[in-house]
Amino acid sequence: MTITIKWADANLAKFGKAIHRLNTEFPKVLPQEINKVGNRVRTQVVRTLTKQTGLPKKTIQKAVGTEGATPGKLFFTMKSAGGDIRLRFFKPRETRKGVVAKPWGKHTLFAGTFMKGGKFPKRVDVAQLTPDVWRRLNKSGSRITQQRSGVRIPVEMITGATAEAFDKMAGPLLEQRVMKVIAKLLK
C-alpha cells in the first residue's frame, strides 16, 4: 500500500522561485554590498583617524589602503603600514625651548629639538636640515637624528576613537544592507 500526498499551492511555487533567485543572485550581490559598506566605513575611519592622529586628511587617505570583497572572498580589508612618523608632518614650529608640533592633535613641546641653524633670534634655514625636526645625540651636536612623533597609523587604526567608530558603524550597516538585499531578492 502506498500513500502519496501532494500539495499544489501557488505560494509554494513563488517561494521556490524566490529561493532560486536568492541562490543564484545573492552570491553576486553580497560582495558588492560588502564593498559599499567597506567604503563608507573607510571614509569614517579616515575622518576619525585624522582627528585622532593630528595628521592631514590627505596623508591618512594615502596611508589607509583597501582591498575589496569578491565572490570567492567575502571580506573587505583596510590596511596600513609604517612606523613612527617624523615630527615634520605635524605642523612644527621652532621656539627657544624646542619645537612645538601637534601629534594627536595637541600642541606638544619637544624640548631641545631644532629645525634651523644659528643662535636665537637670528636662526636661518639650513638646506641639509630643512624641513625636518632634529635632536642632538651628543653634547657637542656633531651627531643628530630626526625627531619622531610617537604616532603610528597602524596602531592608531585599531585603538581609541577610530576603533569605536569602526565597530559602531560596520556591523549594523552591513546587517541592514544585507537584510535589505535578501528582502528584495525574496519578493
Do 120 and 159 sit in the same domain of this protein? Answer: no
Do 76 and 93 sit in the same domain of this protein? Answer: no
| Placement of cell 633670534 in the chain | 121
Task: Please count the structural domains in the chain.
Answer: 2
> Is residue 66 a contact partner of residue 30, using CB atoms and an 8 Å limit?
no
DSSP helix, strand, coil percent of the chain (3-state; round to 5) = 50, 15, 35
Q: What pLDDT does residue 5 have? A: 65
Q: Decide if 122 is inside a domain.
A: yes
Q: Decide if 94 is inside a domain.
A: yes
Do 132 and 179 sit in the same domain of this protein? Answer: no
Q: Decide if 30 is inside a domain.
A: yes
Coil, strand or helix at 99 = strand
Q: What pLDDT does residue 58 have? A: 94
Q: What pLDDT does residue 11 have? A: 64
What is the domain extent for residue 38?
A: 10-80+152-186
Do 30 and 61 sit in the same domain of this protein? Answer: yes
> Rounded CA gap, 37 and 43, in Å?
10
Q: Decide if 4 is inside a domain.
A: no
Do 66 and 20 sit in the same domain of this protein? Answer: yes
Band of pLDDT at residue 8, cut at 50, 70 and 90: low
Q: Decide if 163 is inside a domain.
A: yes
Q: Decide if 2 is inside a domain.
A: no
Q: Decide if 5 is inside a domain.
A: no
pTM above 0.95, yes or no: no
